[in-house]
Amino acid sequence: MPTLDDDHTGARIAAQRKLAGLTQRGLADRIPYSYSLINQVECGAKSASPDLVAAVARALRIDVTALTGQPYVTELQQDRLADLVRPIREALDLYDLGADPDLHPRPARELVAAADDLCQQVRATRLRAAAQALPRLIAELTTAAWTTPSTALWQALASTYRTAHDVAVKLGYYDLSSVALDRMAWAAERASDPLLAAIRQYMRALVYFREGEYTIGQRLVGSGHSLVDQAEETPASVAVAGQLHLGASVIAARARDAATVQTHLEEARSCAARTGEAGEVHWLSFGPANVALHDMSADIEMRRYGQALTKAKAVRLPTSLATSRRAHFLIDRARCEMETGRTEAALASLVAARRAAPEQTRYHPGARETITGLVHAARRTPESLNHMAAWIGL
């Protein structure tokens, strides 16, 4: 059976707690979790759930990544992805420099198509390919938008900044993701596109959700709805409004506000009934299936693992659903299965997630914590779990 070193989330919680001068009981007094659970998490007997990590980070006034260990530099270097981040960071800094006289961008139509293709690559979890293409496309779009400004080019640039945010989040570079979201707002304003601006608020809300700042997250969702109200009502605007409700539902679930969860899920269902499966709308994967997935996720956030697992078994994923969303569902299901003692099923779900989206699964904090929990729960680990643990760097 593999053994965990001192570089797991529980050990990092212990280290940061001690730096803050707190005992385990002292930390328990500051968060809605028991001393017993903190003790088990710190020694590695239980995995650290995302909501516990967010609560600890907020109580200690540190970034969540200080506890999760992201970015996973060793694994990124092994996969030769770390070297792709610096060019993205540099490309994001070109926004106010005007046109590059030495750069000759492709025609506008090709650039718009390339921006759309990058969105597809991320949702197909081809992170390496997207990361490689991002810097050049950002540079080309920046020069093109400054040289011959048009709504389509500014929209494409905003979309590409959003892709930079998506890639940065999936690789654990949250500082870079914040820069990308700022650039997205800058481009969306020049495009005069309220829906892109609303999507940016939705993504900002998820940033605060990860950090445990639920009130700010809900305010950002409200701001997003105000932006949607400025747009003409179309299937796209209905889909964006529905996705904002879904974001609000998981934020409310993390805050243990079950009534608000149901209110937002009902609004999202109403939107989905009007749009059907609309995954192509700003690549949000919105539709009835995504509403069902968020209904399950809300139960997970409220630690209703049995209910969540029942809903997971009833989910029927459409073939059109993005691979990234499909893998996320499998990782969530694995957590429910682990928490309800179905360890073999949990491992099978993680293997399926790895098969569907290896890069996303390798760097997903939830997958890593679930594998950690399975390692500790097993008296004798199957060879497949040994391989998974080694693969994510345990």
- Final residue belonging to a domain, choices 294, 317, 340: 317
Residue 341 and residue 300 share a domain: no
Q: Are residues 200 and 313 in the same domain?
A: yes
Residues 238 and 264 in one domain: yes
* CATH code where residue 13 lies: 1.10.260.40
Q: Answer yes or no: do 291 and 212 share one domain.
A: yes
Q: What is the pTM of this model?
A: 0.88
For residue 126, how far is the Cα from the chain centroid?
15
What tens digit of pLDDT does each residue of 371-393 get? 988 988 776 667 778 878 888 87
Q: Which of 317, 348, 380 is the last residue of a domain?
A: 317
pLDDT for residue 1 is more than 60: no
CB 54 within 8 A of CB 26: no
> Given pLDDT bands bounded at 50, 70 and 90, which one contains residue 173?
very high
User: Is-contact 337 303, C-beta < 8 A?
Assistant: no
For the chain, how are helix, strand and coil distributed in percent, rounded to 5?
75, 0, 25
Q: Among 86-95, 208-217, 293-302, name the one with the lowest average pLDDT.
A: 208-217
For the segment 83-100, the average pLDDT, to the nearest whole number, is: 95
Shared domain for 310 and 205, answered yes or no, is yes
Task: Note whether residue 132 is domain-resident.
Answer: no
Q: Is residue 184 part of a domain?
A: no
Residue 208 sits in the same domain as residue 311: yes
Q: Average of pLDDT values for 68-77?
A: 84
Mean pLDDT computed over 314-327: 93
263 and 206 in a common domain: yes
Amino acid type, 171: L
Domain membership flag for residue 25: yes
Q: Which two tokens stand for residue 136?
A: 């050049």
Gap between the Cα atoms of 379 and 238, Å rounded: 50
Instruction: With respect to residue 389, please indicate whether it lies within any of the assigned structural domains.
Output: yes
Long-range contacts of 12-18 (CB under 8 A, 24+ apart): 12/66, 12/67, 12/68, 12/69, 13/38, 13/41, 13/42, 13/48, 13/53, 13/56, 13/67, 14/42, 16/56, 16/60, 16/62, 16/66, 16/67, 17/42, 17/56, 17/60
Q: How far is CA 217 from the centre of its chain?
A: 14
96 within some domain: no
Amino acid letter, 369: E
Task: Say if residue 270 is in the same domain as residue 333.
Answer: no
| Residue 173 CA from chain centroid, whole number | 11
> In terms of C-beta density within 10 A (0-12 exposed, 13-18 middle, 19 or more buried), how is residue 109 classed?
exposed
Question: What are the pLDDT digits (tens) for 136-147?
Answer: 999 999 999 999
Same domain, 310 and 328: no
Judge if 249 and 357 occupy the same domain.
no
Model confidence over 255-273: pLDDT tens digits? 999 999 999 999 999 999 9
- The pLDDT tens digits of the residues spanning 25-40 come to 999 999 999 999 999 9
149 within some domain: no
Q: How many domains would you assign to the chain?
A: 3
* Most confident of the following: 82-86, 168-172, 217-221: 217-221
Query: How far from chain centre, in Å, is Cα 271?
Result: 22
Q: Give a yes or no: residue 152 inside a domain.
A: no
Final residue before a domain boundary, out of 69, 92, 120: 69
Q: CA 215 → CA 63, 108, 218, 254, distances in Å?
A: 17, 40, 5, 11
What pLDDT score does 5 carry?
53
CB 370 within 8 A of CB 353: no
Tens of pLDDT, residues 180-191: 999 999 999 999
Is residue 212 domain-shared with residue 275, that is, in the same domain?
Answer: yes
- Please tell me the predicted confidence (pLDDT) of residue 197: 96
Share of the chain above pLDDT 90, in %: 78
CA-to-CA distance for 388 and 127, rounded, in angstroms? 20
Q: What is the residue range of 353's domain?
A: 322-394
User: What's the mean pLDDT when you consider all of the chain?
Assistant: 92
Whether residue 312 sits in one domain with residue 209? yes
Residue 44 has pLDDT above 70, yes or no: yes
* Residue 179 falls inside a structural domain: no
Cis geometry, peptide bond prior to residue 318 (ω within 30 degrees of 0): no
For residue 111, pLDDT beyond 80: yes
pLDDT score of 370 more than 50: yes
Mean pLDDT within 300-310: 96
Percent pLDDT > 70 in the chain is 97
Report the pLDDT averaged over residues 196-222.
Answer: 93
